């Protein structure tokens, strides 16, 4: 296993080399805080999001989903407290004028050792203009979190779906924060993605559901292959909680650069719905039980950062070992989230009969398991190493025995396991069920 000191560098290099994650706008020298997901990265990310959605939305009777607009009426952000309070402490070097988060630097500028000016608060929301005019009335913001869009649609959900407490509204989507100092690869970036739930409960029952979601977060960590020994659930001190939170627990992970926040869980009370009811003038109370007065529910909010989740998965999956007397690197992804589930090879690419049979098997698998890959580039050893580095659980090789050179092995292929390197002959008709 790579040492913690150089593991991050190795992960970043592998992600670039194998098409997982690229620097944003790289041909122009990059753009700090922005990253692009390549062919295998987007498959990995989509698999994680789909697993999350199946687990927390489609697999439950008390959840529904929304996909809200990224830009909302700016009054919504005033009501939520983001316009006045969504800020980080900023300092600027008097000598080189570089800016840093005050809580992440010492007394001197790390770039030129100059002195810092006074600390001031920097609002991290991205401003934009909406409409043809450019004045104070056209100012809006890119959302800094996805929760706002859920609260905007609470009344619509209640009026159309008529849910009863407790119930949740889930959303997966982009959020934007103008970070002073984006850092640590995709851990802290200016454009990122969230998987978020607002779970609406009666006030007296919040603790029960808070504890339940805390356990569910750990179970999801198991599903995506994160080691429990690297996970820490930390209660957030009152002075460090978000302004809307009465109780928070962060799920932290041992990243290569230290123990940092991976996911959050907050009890937001009725802060958001009450604030929006007051500012909008709309009645956001709901009738939960006949004969009882309408109430404004309280909220438990589990939030999962997609990009941080991907980085945690890569950190857990990255493995160095020795196989057949040679050093190798492989990504030990759980099959459920691996970007490629299996790769199909002809033993030799210059033998038409092998290629034809391999193509037949590849086409058959592709119909049942879309994330199957064709690979005939280089010798078998190089193909195995390439597939190991992108985390493919199984490699399938079509050889002359498949064609009947040994009659007893006709219509069988060699199936290689990524983690152990072990190979065995299996019948073609068994492949779909084995890979699934």
Backbone φ and ψ for 62, nearest 5 degrees, come out as -110, 20
Task: Take residue 213 and report the two structure tokens written for it.
Answer: 């979601």
Q: Diameter of the chain by CA atoms?
A: 81
- Does 92 map to a domain? no
- 53 and 152 in a single domain? The answer is yes
Of 205, 193, 268, 212, the C-alpha closest to 60 is 212
Q: Residue 96: CB partners within 8 Å, gap ≥ 6?
A: 109, 111, 112, 114
289 within some domain: yes
In a domain, 102, yes or no: no
Residues 175 and 261 in one domain: yes
pTM, two decimal places: 0.93
* CA 395, 186, 211, 213 torsion-angle sign: negative
Q: Are residues 261 and 367 in the same domain?
A: no
Sequential DSSP letters for 47-92: HHHHHHHIIIIIT-SSEEE----SB--HHHHHHHTHHHH-EEEEEE
Q: Is 324 left (phi over 0), alpha (psi -120 to 50) or beta?
A: left
- Same structural domain for residues 251 and 359? no
Phi and psi (nearest 5°) for 323? -135, 125
- Domains: count for the chain: 2
Last residue of a domain, one of 315, 331, 350: 315
294 & 157 share domain = yes
**Domain of residue 381, residue span:** 340-435
User: Is residue 344 located within the same domain as residue 210?
Assistant: no
- Asked if residue 231 is part of any domain, the answer here is yes
User: 427 and 286: one domain?
Assistant: no
Q: Measured between alpha carbons, how far is 355 from 400 in angstroms, rounded to an integer?
A: 11
275 and 359 in a single domain? The answer is no
Residue 375 within a domain: yes
Q: For the chain, what is the radius of gyration of the CA atoms?
A: 26
Distance of CA 170 to the CA centre of its chain: 15
User: Domain check: are 361 and 289 in the same one?
Assistant: no
Tell me whether residue 130 is in a domain.
Answer: no
**Share of the chain residues as helix, strand and coil, in percent rounded to the nearest 5:** 35, 30, 35
pLDDT at 167 (0 to 100): 98
Of 282, 315, 348, the position where a domain reaches its end is: 315
DSSP state of 110: T
Q: What is the pLDDT along the chain (436 residues), one digit of tens a residue?
A: 445 669 999 999 999 999 999 999 999 999 999 999 999 999 999 999 999 999 999 999 999 999 999 999 999 999 999 888 788 899 999 999 998 989 888 899 999 999 999 999 888 899 999 998 888 788 999 999 999 999 999 999 999 999 999 999 999 999 999 999 899 999 999 999 999 999 999 999 999 999 999 999 999 999 999 999 999 999 999 998 988 899 999 999 999 999 999 999 999 999 999 999 999 999 999 998 888 999 999 999 999 999 999 999 999 999 999 998 999 999 999 999 999 999 999 999 999 999 999 999 999 999 999 999 999 999 999 999 999 999 999 999 999 999 999 999 999 999 999 999 999 999 999 999 999 8
Would you state the pLDDT for residue 4? 66
Based on the domain organization, do 291 and 363 belong to the same domain? no
Q: How many CB atoms neighbour CB 107 within 10 A?
A: 8
| Residue 321 domain flag | no
Task: Kindly state whether residues 351 and 229 are assigned to the same domain.
Answer: no
425: CB partners within 8 A, 6+ apart: 401, 409, 412, 413, 414, 415
For residue 191, tell me if it sits in a domain: yes
d(CA 417, CA 433): 15
CATH number at residue 197: 3.30.930.10
Helix (H, G, I), strand (E, B) or coil at 331: strand
Indicate if 293 and 348 belong to the same structural domain.
no
CATH of the domain at 402: 3.40.50.800
Q: What angle do CA 246, 252, 257 make, to 5 degrees?
A: 135
């Amino acid at each position: 296993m790579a040492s913690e000191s150089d593991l991050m560098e190795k992960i970043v290099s592998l992600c670039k080399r194998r098409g997982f994650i690229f620097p944003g706008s790289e041909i122009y020298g990059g753009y700090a805080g922005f990253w692009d997901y390549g062919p295998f990265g987007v498959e990995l990310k989509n698999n994680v999001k789909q697993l999350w959605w199946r687990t927390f939305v489609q697999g439950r009777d008390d959840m529904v989903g929304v996909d809200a607009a990224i830009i909302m009426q700016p009054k919504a952000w005033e009501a939520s407290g983001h316009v006045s309070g969504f800020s980080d402490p900023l300092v600027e070097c008097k000598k080189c004028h570089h800016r840093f988060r005050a809580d992440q630097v010492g007394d001197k500028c790390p770039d030129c050792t100059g002195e810092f000016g006074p600390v001031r608060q920097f609002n991290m929301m991205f401003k934009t203009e909406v409409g043809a005019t450019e004045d104070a009335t056209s100012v809006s913001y890119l959302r800094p979190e996805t929760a706002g869009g859920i609260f905007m649609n609470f009344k619509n959900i209640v009026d159309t779906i008529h849910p009863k407490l407790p119930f949740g509204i889930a959303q997966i989507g982009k959020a934007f924060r103008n970070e002073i100092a984006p850092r640590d690869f995709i851990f802290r970036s200016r454009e990122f993605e969230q998987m978020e739930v607002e779970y609406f409960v009666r006030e007296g029952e919040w603790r029960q559901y808070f504890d339940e979601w805390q356990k569910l977060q750990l179970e999801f960590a198991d599903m995506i292959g994160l080691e429990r020994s690297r996970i820490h659930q930390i209660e957030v001190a009152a002075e460090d909680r978000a302004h809307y939170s009465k109780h928070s627990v962060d799920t932290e992970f041992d990243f290569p650069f230290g123990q940092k926040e991976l996911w959050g869980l907050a009890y937001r009370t009725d802060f958001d719905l009450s604030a929006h009811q007051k500012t909008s003038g709309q009645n956001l109370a709901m009738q939960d039980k006949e004969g009882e007065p309408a109430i404004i529910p309280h909220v438990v909010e589990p939030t999962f950062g997609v990009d941080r989740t991907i980085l945690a998965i890569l950190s857990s999956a990255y493995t160095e070992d020795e196989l057949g007397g040679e050093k190798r690197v492989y990504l030990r992804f759980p099959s459920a989230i691996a970007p490629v589930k299996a790769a199909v090879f002809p033993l030799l690419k210059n033998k038409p009969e092998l290629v034809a049979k391999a193509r037949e098997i590849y086409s058959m698998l592709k119909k049942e398991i879309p994330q199957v890959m064709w690979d005939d580039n280089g010798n078998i050893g190089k193909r195995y190493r390439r597939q190991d580095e992108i985390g493919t659980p199984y490699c399938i090789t079509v050889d002359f025995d498949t064609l009947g050179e040994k009659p007893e092995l006709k219509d069988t292929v060699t199936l290689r396991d990524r983690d152990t390197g072990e190979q065995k002959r299996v019948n073609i008709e068994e492949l779909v069920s084995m890979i699934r």
